[in-house]
Chains A and B, each alone.
Chain A
Amino acid sequence: MNESTTNNQPPIFRFLVKHKWRIILPLIFVGFYFALPRYFADITAVQQNLFIKSSTLNKSELDKKVAAIKDEVLSDVFLESLISEFNLLEKINGSKTDYLRKRMDIWIRGENYKNETAVQIWINFKEKDNPNITAVADKIAARFENNPELQVNKYVTEPYYPVVAPNAQMLADFFIQGLLLISIPLIFLWEIPNMFYSPKTKRMIFEPLKADWQEELTDAKLRGETWKVLQINIRYSFAFLASMIQKSPIGDLFEFFSKVAR
């Protein structure tokens, strides 16, 4: 029966049905491949290295001076001036100065240099090709360069796009976003049949499916299989969606063509 039924179908239909998972799964993985690196790599970073000397200050005074300028740079007043001058962080709600402070690091390395203090300014924006990033770094470096007591040699890197390894925070974000994505359809899924399908369809299709869902879920919960609970929810969300599509005009059309093919 199976072979004779399949043999009557058009070859392309037969091929698609037979290899559906071989087509769908790679597409999902390709989707992830393009989505994930972009999430991790949408960062523009710039690094400026300043080697600072002074003809008037001794090493200890120089270190103190540099530390004081660093504090000025990280002060709310200076950061607010940067934000308004470059129109930074327009999309950020809450404290923009705190956010900007988190996105930049200023390291002072004084201990290994006899008469110099090295300052490394590292800024990263969670956005690709941010046009302001070099200007912001220059503005910060200028605070050191414009000081009359300091002589500064500056080495600048071009803006670059580091691929940041997924850290715990990012993975947690992904997990939470994933759960939300799964939960949202779960919340509304059960309500959709009430709006679009007849009482008979609800009774014959969606209620038995819900009963099975409940059955498997209760079983997994009783066994304490947390991961299985998630797996069951995902599986039944898809089953619910598949049933809804099958009972929609698209499903009827598909059924009609399958019947013709048979």
Chain B
Amino acid sequence: MNNEFPKLSRKEFKILELLIANGEMFGLEMVSASEGELKRGTIYVTLQRMGDKGYTESREEPRTFPEIGIPRRKYSATGLGEKVFQTNLRAIEFFNTGFALEGN
């Protein structure tokens, strides 16, 4: 049995938190909703890396008339992403309880 579990970075954690809470989201929506934690310049690179790890998936959302321009991309958390998020969340909660501190 593997004792290791995938640890999420701060940005990855925030992205999964938003996607699990809101369902499908655009990158820009996540930037706005994160209140400064996610930046325009880094979110898509993080999302691509998360996609490669299988935590998120995305699809192109074509523009609807009369909008024109480059199609935007909508992101959602995968089952694995949700599981990793829950694991990390539990680990944090556990770490922050008095029980964990007794071990110090």
Contacts and interface: CB of A to CB of B under 8 A. Distances in A.
A205 B71 CA distance: 13
Interface string B63-78: 0000001111100000
B81 interface: no
B9 A214 contact: no
A210 interface: yes
The SS class assigned to the A binding surface is helix
A51 to B, nearest CB: 65
A201 B48 CA distance: 8
Interface residues of B, number: 29
Contacts, number: 78
Interface stretch (A165-173, A223-231, A236-244): A236-244
Interface string B17-38: 0000000001110000000000
A209 to B, nearest CB: 6
Nearest to B17: A1
A214 B70 contact: yes
6 closest pairs, A vs B, by CB? Answer: A242-B41, A239-B41, A239-B40, A211-B70, A1-B92, A205-B44
Interface of B: 7-10, 13, 26-28, 39-42, 44-45, 47-49, 51, 58, 69-73, 88-89, 91-92, 95
